[in-house]
């Protein structure tokens, strides 16, 4: 600006006033500062226009169309035998691919199709234009009737532009979708481990089979909505994708509550031996065993933890399946990482036995006192002598920085599966009868054992293994079929090494 004024002072005296004005204005317009201000103003106006267009688009997408009535009759519409103003009807346009689900389910209410639920992460949920309770009146200009299944099939088959005429469940301004997402995030960080297989296409109770989520036993799901008491919304943690419907804990418990468990009339409880002559029987309290009989496992809430060393490695399996061989090999090859307990007994030591090696010898009175005080994980009696595993002996191994390996009866898992012991539970399953027979023959031929087992004994092992797996599989972190001892050891070793390098899903009670 100062430069423009300096130029004016250099003009000859004969220059007229009009010429001076033109020169002054020209100088201002050519000034770089003025030009920058002009460009900024143009951009600001363009931004305002763009914002206006976006605002208009949002209003069209989210508000009711309000057309001036041409007659009193056109000013109202009949819905559910009630007079409803025309401006309550909304027309929505969406674009979809053929076969792509909208992520909604419907129910019949007063002979109308009403949105029953909106699946988390689905198309409709992402757009935020429809809400639970909205009545669907027309699709592409055609009335929808009152059959939810037909409407689902119609919407699934349509591709391209889809026009919906709806009667909304509210008339107020739409709350921005971000608020819903923030509220969902506060309640969506719930993860569960599934203890049963589920296929929605085999479920006669699910309101919409296409909206169901298939999963397998042992999978981890994220629960994103639990408002419906019968049907939760969940998504796969590993595979991702939008949410689907799964039966709630309440619904699945009702379905399974009166199903006879396989041990109800199977004689002795699995893991016990009816004849005292065969082997000493280890057992827990009757209360725990009775609790196991009535326990129904559906979902278990879990949390993801970084890699860490488990305090105990628990081997579960039927008698004679090879648990002790695996345990001993682990300890011999990795004495600084793994250890085990020394059992207690009330019998007198033999001449070649030293206290603390194969057994810890205590008096029967002392052992009975500790049993009554709950200091034993499990105990039993054999030929008039007590035997048992003391809980403190497990903690003694853990305090040395090693993982304590235990081969116990499955009922002990009720006590062990806590944050105090943090077990990694491996079920050593028996192979098929033919394979087990061949393995036993090889052991006898090699002179490793002189004890001959009959086919009846081997079949009992296979049957007991199957019963344990059915009754306690919800506790297992890994299942290994021991059809080859070397291969079973390699699988077990690989699994324990992964615990130190990979994240782990553990019961929520271990964390909070």
Residue 472 burial (10 A CB sphere; 0-12, 13-18, 19+): buried
Q: Is residue 479's pLDDT more than 50?
A: yes
d(CA 231, CA 224): 11
% of the chain surpassing 70 pLDDT: 70
pLDDT tens-digit profile of 95-109? 777 766 777 788 888
DSSP per-residue codes, 213-258: --B-TT-EEEEEE--SSSEEEEEETTTEEEEEEEE-HHHHHHHHTT
Q: Is residue 273's pLDDT more than 50?
A: no
Q: What is the pLDDT of residue 451?
A: 76
Q: What is the pLDDT of residue 385?
A: 94
pLDDT tens-digit profile of 27-80? 655 666 656 656 655 655 555 444 454 444 444 444 444 434 444 444 444 544
Q: What is the pLDDT of residue 159?
A: 74
Give exposure, 346-368, as e/b (b: 16+ Cβ within 10 Å): bbeeeeeeeeeeebebbeeeebe
pLDDT tens-digit profile of 26-42? 565 566 665 665 665 56
Q: What is the pLDDT of residue 181?
A: 34
Question: Sign of torsion, CA 400 406 410 412?
Answer: negative
pLDDT band for position 210 (cuts 50, 70, 90): confident
Q: What is the pLDDT of residue 36?
A: 63
Residue 160 DSSP SS3: strand
pLDDT tens-digit profile of 361-412? 999 999 999 999 999 999 999 999 999 999 999 999 999 999 999 999 999 9
- Mean pLDDT of the chain, nearest integer: 77
The mean per-residue pLDDT over the stretch 141-153 comes to 80
H/E stretch holding 304 = strand 299-305
Identify the bridge partners of residue 164 per DSSP, sorted by sequence position: 92, 139
State the pTM of this model.
Answer: 0.63
The mean per-residue pLDDT over the stretch 237-253 comes to 88
Q: What is the pLDDT of residue 18?
A: 54
Q: Is residue 309's pLDDT more than 60?
A: yes
Q: Is residue 356's pLDDT more than 80?
A: yes
Q: Is residue 232's pLDDT more than 90?
A: yes
Q: What is the pLDDT of residue 161?
A: 77
Q: What angle do CA 503, 507, 510 make, to 5 degrees?
A: 90
- Do 376 and 362 meet the contact criterion of CB atoms below 8 Å apart? no
Lowest mean pLDDT among 118-122, 325-329, 394-398, 414-418: 118-122
Q: Is residue 16's pLDDT more than 60?
A: no
The mean per-residue pLDDT over the stretch 313-325 comes to 93
* Residue 49 CB neighbours (<10 A): 10
Q: Is residue 293's pLDDT more than 60?
A: no
- Do 119 and 212 meet the contact criterion of CB atoms below 8 Å apart? no
Q: What is the pLDDT of residue 35?
A: 65
Q: What is the pLDDT of residue 421?
A: 96
Q: Is residue 150's pLDDT more than 90?
A: no
Token couple for 496: 């324990």
Q: What is the pLDDT of residue 286?
A: 36
Q: Domains plus CATH for the chain? A: 2-37 (no CATH), 84-167 (2.30.42.10), 177-256 (2.30.30.40), 286-510 (3.40.50.300)
d(CA 199, CA 212): 8
Q: What is the pLDDT of residue 282?
A: 44
The mean per-residue pLDDT over the stretch 248-277 comes to 56
The mean per-residue pLDDT over the stretch 246-270 comes to 66
């Amino acid at each position: 600006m100062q430069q423009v004024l300096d130029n004016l002072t250099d003009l000859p005296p004969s220059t007229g006033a009009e010429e001076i004005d033109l020169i002054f204005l020209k100088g201002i317009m050519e000034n770089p500062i003025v030009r920058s201000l002009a460009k900024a103003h143009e951009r600001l106006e363009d931004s305002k226009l763009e914002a206006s267009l976006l605002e208009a688009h949002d209003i069209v997408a989210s508000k009711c169309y309000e057309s001036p009535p041409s007659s009193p009759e056109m000013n109202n519409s009949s819905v559910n035998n009630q007079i409803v103003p025309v401006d309550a009807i909304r027309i929505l346009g969406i674009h979809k691919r053929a076969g792509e689900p909208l992520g909604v389910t419907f129910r019949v209410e007063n002979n109308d199709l009403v949105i029953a639920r909106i699946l988390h992460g689905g198309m409709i949920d992402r757009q935020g234009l429809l809400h639970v309770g909205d009545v669907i009146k027309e699709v592409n200009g055609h009335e929808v009737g009152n059959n939810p299944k037909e409407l689902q099939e119609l919407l699934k088959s349509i591709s391209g532009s889809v026009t919906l005429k709806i009667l909304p469940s509210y008339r107020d301004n739409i709350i921005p979708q971000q608020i819903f997402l923030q509220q969902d995030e506060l309640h969506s960080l719930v993860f569960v481990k599934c203890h049963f297989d589920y296929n929605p296409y085999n479920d006669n109770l699910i309101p919409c089979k296409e909206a169901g989520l298939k999963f397998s036993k042992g999978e981890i799901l994220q629960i994103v909505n639990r408002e419906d008491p019968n049907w939760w919304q969940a998504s796969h943690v590993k595979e991702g994708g939008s949410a689907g419907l799964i039966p709630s804990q309440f619904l699945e418990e009702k379905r399974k509550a009166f199903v006879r468990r396989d041990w109800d009339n199977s004689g002795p409880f699995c893991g016990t031996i009816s004849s005292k002559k065969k082997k000493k029987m280890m057992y827990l309290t009757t209360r725990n065993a009775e609790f196991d009989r009535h326990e129904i496992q559906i979902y278990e809430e879990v949390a993801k933890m970084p890699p860490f060393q488990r305090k105990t490695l628990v081997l579960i399996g039927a008698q004679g399946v090879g648990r002790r061989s695996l345990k001993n090999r682990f300890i011999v090859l990795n004495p600084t990482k793994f250890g085990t307990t020394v059992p207690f007994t009330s019998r007198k030591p033999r001449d070649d036995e030293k206290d603390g090696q194969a057994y810890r010898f205590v008096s029967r009175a002392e052992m009975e006192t500790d049993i009554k005080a709950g200091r034993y994980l499990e105990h039993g009696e054999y030929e008039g002598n007590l035997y048992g595993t003391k809980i403190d002996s497990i903690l003694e191994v853990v305090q040395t920085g090693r993982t304590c390996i235990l081969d116990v009866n499955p009922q002990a898992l009720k006590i062990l599966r806590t944050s105090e012991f943090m077990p990694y539970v491996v079920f050593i399953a028996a192979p098929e009868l033919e394979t087990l027979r061949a393995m036993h023959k090889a052991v006898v031929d090699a002179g490793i054992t002189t004890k001959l087992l009959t086919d009846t004994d081997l079949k009992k092992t296979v049957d007991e293994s199957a019963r344990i797996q059915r009754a306690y599989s919800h506790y297992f972190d890994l299942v290994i079929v021991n059809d080859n001892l070397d291969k079973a050891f390699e699988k077990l070793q690989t699994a324990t090494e992964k615990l130190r390098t990979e994240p782990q899903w553990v019961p929520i009670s271990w964390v909070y």
